[in-house]
Amino acid sequence: KNEVEQSPQNLTAQEGEFITINCSYSVGISALHWLQQHPGGGIVSLFMLSSGKKKHGRLIATINIQEKHSSLHITASHPRDSAVYICAVIGRRGSQGNLIFGKGTKLSVKP
């Protein structure tokens, strides 16, 4: 079993829909990252959080440390949101660079 599990693996939505991507992990962590990988391959860090909730524009990330679960929400989705969204955690035992990655959720937003 992977230490970081994401669901769903693939997600197709219509423009304007509210989207939720889930991430569950099985190790103790010091922080969790949400990353976006564009179709061209480039990676952008969206959020880093260790508790609570963060919001940036139409993106919201939440984390529940007790339940070892995080969600990434996209409000009013747009075709330009189409990308692979990756959850990654920093285990308490690893160094701060030792990210453990989920396999990603491929999002496709149709116009």
Partner 1 sequence: NAGVMQNPRHLVRRRGQEARLRCSPMKGHSHVYWYRQLPEEGLKFMVYLQKENIIDESGMPKERFSAEFPKEGPSILRIQQVVRGDSAAYFCASSQSLSGGITDTQYFGPGTRLTVL
Binding site for partner 1 (CB under 8 A): 30-31, 33, 35, 41-45, 48, 50, 86, 88, 90, 94-104
Comparison of 102 and 109: residue with beta carbon closer to partner 1: 102
Minimum CB distance to partner 1, residue 106 (Å)? 12
Of 13 and 99, which CB lies nearer to partner 1 in the complex structure?
99
Would you say 33 or 74 has its CB closer to partner 1? Answer: 33
CB of 76 to partner 1, least distance (A): 25
- Cβ closer to partner 1: 31 or 60? 31
Going by C-beta distance under 8 Å and a sequence separation of 6 or more, which residues neighbour residue 29? 50, 65, 68, 89, 90, 91, 92
Beta strands in 15-68 (DSSP E): 19-25, 29-37, 43-49, 52-56, 59-64
- Distance CA(61)–CA(95), nearest Å, equals 23
Smallest distance, partner 1 to C-beta of residue 25, A? 14
**Minimum distance between the CB of residue 49 and partner 1, rounded to whole angstroms?**
10
Q: Is 14 helix (H, G, I), strand (E, B) or coil?
A: strand
* Owner of token pair 């989920």: 102
HSE at residue 62, side-chain half, CA atoms within 13 A, is 9
